[in-house]
């Protein structure tokens, strides 16, 4: 197995709710190699979103270690975490999470500006990505003028803008009809074939089937980790 | 390298400003209402400052015309004699400044350089059929230098004219204009009663007598003055003056109506004025004189102006405070409404300081736009006031600049808390926000 790009070691994450401590993740260890396509599955409340937030450097483990591309993120401060999110990770959310007052092109450009890219550079990259997801004719539309499937494609283009190591998707097809969902999944396949590492949270078995590897969680712990033989 | 960083920074800033403008434009009514507090505060302060500055400038000009190194004594009919003169017809009222007062001041008070005595008679001055109600001032040749009231054309009378008690006169600018509207007054004669006076000079107009084009005096009715040698005045009028007052005659014996005392050292004006007041009090049983110290008036005006400025400053501070609270209120609402956006931006790589900058820029744009609008209105209002009401207004260049800077600063101060709150949000929580 090649050098893992994501490595979780005995990761715990607990939430304090008054006197009660909720343990969302209890000692999870997981390695993911570059170029893998992983589906994280499990019943509601098992800790999928918590895991994805940790993987996305939006949150830090209560204990344990998380190495992303060899860097232990628990030693990083807020600015460094922001930088890692912007440069190495791409997010795709269930509810698209586009910025409503910006048009499609500007939405795709957002991560580039936080990296200090110039306006011309950002524009060129954004136009290229909009073409790649098939939205080159909608560049100056606002998000609310697009269908759900189109909005999610914008979100994918935005996630690709900074050419990240890993793309994280949380129920990316959850809000979409089956046709649009298939289109999005086809796009994921395409990305994975182009060498992107994809980690996708889903509770839909048919969605999970498209991944090469399915990680099942149960009550904050690893239940199974199965690879589909090619 | 630094040039590159600089251009990067400025393009980032430009982009943030564009973004801020767009989000304010999205809620334009709300933005406008929020700005109003600052607009009115800034506008009223600039306008009031300009009007106050103008008024105090005029007052100070008037006082300066009297001469800041001068002490002016005037004869005043004592209030207790008012009734007496009304009842008794053959009574001659004797009051006011005497020639002895002058010699006493000269003899006993050090630091006094020159003294200008004057007799003032209210008379009609004629040029054929044109008539002006004027104060005829009998005085000495150094009056113009002492009172900062200079001769515009011709000359003032000299010691020689004085000794010879010549019938010569210098006319005030305004009355010269009215008596000789079409011709050159120099060399012509004017008539008072049976006496003819040759016009040898015309004075410069006094600033207080500035008139607008309707012919009305803008501040107070300027009194026309005509100057003749004191000796001439003594000969022609004698010691006793007759006054017609609503049917009855009044006889008054007043030696001098006005005495101007010039103090050598400007630092000594107040001290000398106290000595003069003291001296006068000892030698006049009745309060039949009045002492005016222009410097004191000037100081008083300055004090009044300082108080006015403090009051204005407080109003400005309060309105900017209120405006700032309004901005803070709106920015807090703004931050709450855009919690989700903040989460998204954080997930896409925005650092805390990027979020702070974004919201701070919005707040500063709000307050800065309010300040700019207020400055425009505040500059326009004095302009309208001075053209409609004929009041003098002065806009000091500092006041719009300071007002604008301070209002932008208000945006920074009151926008900081909401912006910090936005930046402090936990990205996960923010993303979950509906
Ligand atoms: N911010 C939070 N505060 C308290 N408890 C939380 C929080 N987030 C998640 N949890 C709890 O952690 C557990 C896992 O939640 P989550 O990761 O959202 O599960 P899933 O996404 O698999 O449905 C749940 O019991 C949930 O109630
Ligand atoms: Mg979830």
pLDDT in tens, B121-145: 888 899 888 888 888 999 998 888 8
In this predicted structure, what is the pLDDT of residue B109?
A: 86
Query: Are both B283 and B308 inside the same structural domain?
Result: no
Query: Do residue B349 and residue A53 have CB atoms under 8 angstroms apart?
Result: no
pTM of the model: 0.77
Q: Does the pLDDT at position B82 exceed 70?
A: no
Asked, for residue B70, whether it belongs to a domain, the answer is no
Residue nearest to atom 20 of ligand 1 (CA): A45
CA of B431 to the centre of ligand 2 (A): 12
Of B83, B91, B76, B96, nearest to B255 by C-alpha is B96
Contacts of A57 in chain B (CB under 8 A): none
Query: Are both B90 and B235 inside the same structural domain?
Result: yes
Q: What DSSP letter does each residue of B164-204 carry, written as one string? A: HT--EEEE-HHHHHHH-SSS--TT-EEEETTEEEEEEEEEP
Residue nearest to atom 11 of ligand 1 (CA): A24
Asked, for residue B342, whether it belongs to a domain, the answer is yes
Residue-wise pLDDT tens digits, A122-151: 999 999 999 999 998 989 999 999 999 999
CA of A25 to the centre of ligand 1 (A): 9
Give how far Cα B37 sits from Cα of B32, B40, B326, Å: 10, 6, 7
Q: Does the pLDDT at position B218 exceed 50?
A: no
Query: Are both B50 and B161 inside the same structural domain?
Result: no
Query: Do residue B431 and residue A58 have CB atoms under 8 angstroms apart?
Result: yes
- Among the candidates B287, B320, B340, a domain finishes at B287
Q: Give dist(CA B122, CA B137) in Å, integer.
A: 9
What is the average per-residue pLDDT within B393-418? 92
Averaged confidence pLDDT in chain B: 85
Domain count for chain B, please give it. 2
In this predicted structure, what is the pLDDT of residue A29?
A: 95
Please, which pLDDT band fits residue B209 given cuts at 50, 70 and 90? Answer: very low
Residue B232 phi/psi, 5° resolution?
A: -60, -45
A33 in contact with B, Cβ within 8 Å: no
Asked, for residue B5, whether it belongs to a domain, the answer is no
Query: Are both B366 and B249 inside the same structural domain?
Result: no
In this predicted structure, what is the pLDDT of residue B1?
A: 55
Asked, for residue B42, whether it belongs to a domain, the answer is yes
B431 in contact with A, Cβ within 8 Å: yes
Query: Are both B122 and B188 inside the same structural domain?
Result: yes
CA of A160 to the centre of ligand 2 (A): 23
Query: Are both B173 and B314 inside the same structural domain?
Result: no
From A18, A26, A46, A47, the mutation candidate for ligand 1 (largest count of ligand atoms within 8 A of CB) is A47
Q: Does the pLDDT at position B211 exceed 50?
A: no
Query: Are both B269 and B169 inside the same structural domain?
Result: yes
Q: Give dist(CA B70, CA B66) in Å, integer.
A: 7
Query: Are both B117 and B161 inside the same structural domain?
Result: yes
Please, which pLDDT band fits residue B213 given cuts at 50, 70 and 90? Answer: very low
- Among the candidates B263, B287, B311, a domain finishes at B287
From the list A59, A101, A110, the residue facing B348 with the nearest CB is A110
| Residue A73 near residue A58, CB atoms below 8 Å | no
Residue-wise pLDDT tens digits, B320-349: 899 999 999 999 999 999 999 999 999 999
Asked, for residue B360, whether it belongs to a domain, the answer is yes
Residues 6 or more apart whose Cβ sits within 8 Å of residue A8:
A28, A29, A30, A31, A54, A55, A64, A65, A66
ipTM: 0.96
Atom of ligand 1 nearest to the CA of A53: 17
Asked, for residue B2, whether it belongs to a domain, the answer is no
Asked, for residue B68, whether it belongs to a domain, the answer is no
- Name the CATH superfamily for A4-227: P-loop containing nucleotide triphosphate hydrolases (3.40.50.300)
In this predicted structure, what is the pLDDT of residue B220?
A: 37
CA of B317 to the centre of ligand 2 (A): 51
Residue nearest to atom 10 of ligand 1 (CA): A24
Query: Are both B228 and B82 inside the same structural domain?
Result: yes
Query: Are both B171 and B95 inside the same structural domain?
Result: yes
Structure tokens at A160: 């690709």
In this predicted structure, what is the pLDDT of residue B217?
A: 35
In a 3-state reduction of DSSP, which class is residue A116? Answer: coil
Query: Are both B306 and B282 inside the same structural domain?
Result: no
Asked, for residue B72, whether it belongs to a domain, the answer is no
- Among the candidates B287, B318, B350, a domain finishes at B287
List the single range of A114-118, B136-140, B211-215, B259-263 with lowest mean pLDDT. B211-215
In this predicted structure, what is the pLDDT of residue B48?
A: 87
Query: Are both B39 and B106 inside the same structural domain?
Result: no
| Residue A41 near residue A214, CB atoms below 8 Å | yes
Q: Which residues line ligand 1 (CB under 6 A)?
A: A 15, 17, 22, 24, 44-50
Q: Which residue segment(s) compose the domain that B243 sits in? A: 77-287
């Amino acid at each position: 197995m090649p050098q893992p790009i994501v490595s979780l070691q005995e990761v715990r994450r607990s939430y304090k709710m008054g006197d009660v401590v909720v343990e969302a993740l209890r000692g999870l260890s997981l390695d993911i190699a570059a170029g893998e396509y992983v589906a994280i599955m499990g019943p509601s409340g098992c800790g999928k979103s918590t895991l994805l937030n940790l993987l996305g450097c939006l949150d830090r483990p209560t204990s344990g270690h998380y190495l992303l591309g060899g860097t232990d993120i628990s030693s990083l401060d807020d600015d460094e975490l922001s930088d890692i999110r912007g440069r190495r990770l791409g997010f795709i959310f269930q509810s698209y999470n586009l910025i409503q007052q910006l048009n499609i092109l500007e939405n795709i450009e957002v991560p580039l500006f936080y990296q200090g890219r110039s306006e011309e550079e950002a524009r060129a990259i954004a136009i290229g990505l909009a073409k790649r997801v098939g939205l080159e004719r909608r560049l100056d539309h606002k998000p609310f003028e697009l269908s759900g499937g189109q909005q999610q494609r914008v979100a994918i283009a935005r996630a690709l803008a900074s050419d990240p190591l890993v793309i994280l998707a949380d129920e990316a097809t959850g809000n979409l009809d089956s046709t649009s969902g298939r289109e999005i999944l086809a796009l994921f396949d395409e990305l994975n074939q182009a060498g992107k590492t994809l980690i996708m949270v889903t509770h839909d078995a048919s969605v999970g089937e498209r991944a090469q590897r399915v990680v099942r969680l149960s009550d904050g712990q690893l239940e199974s980790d199965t690879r589909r033989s090619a | 390298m630094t040039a590159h960083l600089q251009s990067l920074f400025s393009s980032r800033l430009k982009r943030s400003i564009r973004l801020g403008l767009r989000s304010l434009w999205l809620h334009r009514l709300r933005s406008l209402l929020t700005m109003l507090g600052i607009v009115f505060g800034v506008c009223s302060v600039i306008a009031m400052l300009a009007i106050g500055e103008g008024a105090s400038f005029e007052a100070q000009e008037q006082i300066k015309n009297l001469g800041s190194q001068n002490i002016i004594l005037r004869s005043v009919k004592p209030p207790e004699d008012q009734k007496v003169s009304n009842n008794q017809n053959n009574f001659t009222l004797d009051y006011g400044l005497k020639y002895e007062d002058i010699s006493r001041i000269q003899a006993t008070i050090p630091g006094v350089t020159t003294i200008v005595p004057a007799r003032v008679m209210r008379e009609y001055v004629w040029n054929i059929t044109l008539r002006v109600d004027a104060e005829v001032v009998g005085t000495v040749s150094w009056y113009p230098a002492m009172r900062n009231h200079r001769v515009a054309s011709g000359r003032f009378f000299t010691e020689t004219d004085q000794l010879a008690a010549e019938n010569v006169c210098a006319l005030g600018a305004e009355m010269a204009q009215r008596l000789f509207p079409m011709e050159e007054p120099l060399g012509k004669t004017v008539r008072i009663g049976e006496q003819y006076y040759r016009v040898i000079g015309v004075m410069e107009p006094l600033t207080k007598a500035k008139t607008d084009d309707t012919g009305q005096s803008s501040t107070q009715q300027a009194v026309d003055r005509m100057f003749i040698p004191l000796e001439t005045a003594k000969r022609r009028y004698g010691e006793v003056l007759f006054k017609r007052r609503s049917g009855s005659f009044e006889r008054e014996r007043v030696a001098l109506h006005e005495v101007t005392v010039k103090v050598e050292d400007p630092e000594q004006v107040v001290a000398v004025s106290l000595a003069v007041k003291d001296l006068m009090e000892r030698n006049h049983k009745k309060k039949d004189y009045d002492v005016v110290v222009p410097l004191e008036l000037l100081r008083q005006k300055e004090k009044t102006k300082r108080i006015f400025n403090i009051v204005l400053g407080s109003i400005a501070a309060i309105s900017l405070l209120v405006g700032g609270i309004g901005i803070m209120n709106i920015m807090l609402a703004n931050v709450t409404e855009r919690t989700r956006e903040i989460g998204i931006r954080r997930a896409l790589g925005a650092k805390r300081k990027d979020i702070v900058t974004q919201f701070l820029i919005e707040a500063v744009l709000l307050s800065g736009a309010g300040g700019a609008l207020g400055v425009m209105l505040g500059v326009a209002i004095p302009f309208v006031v001075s053209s409609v009401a004929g009041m003098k207004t002065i806009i000091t260049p500092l006041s719009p600049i300071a007002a604008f800077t301070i209002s932008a600063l208000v945006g920074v101060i009151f926008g900081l808390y909401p912006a910090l709150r936005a930046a402090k949000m936990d990205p996960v929580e923010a993303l979950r926000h509906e």
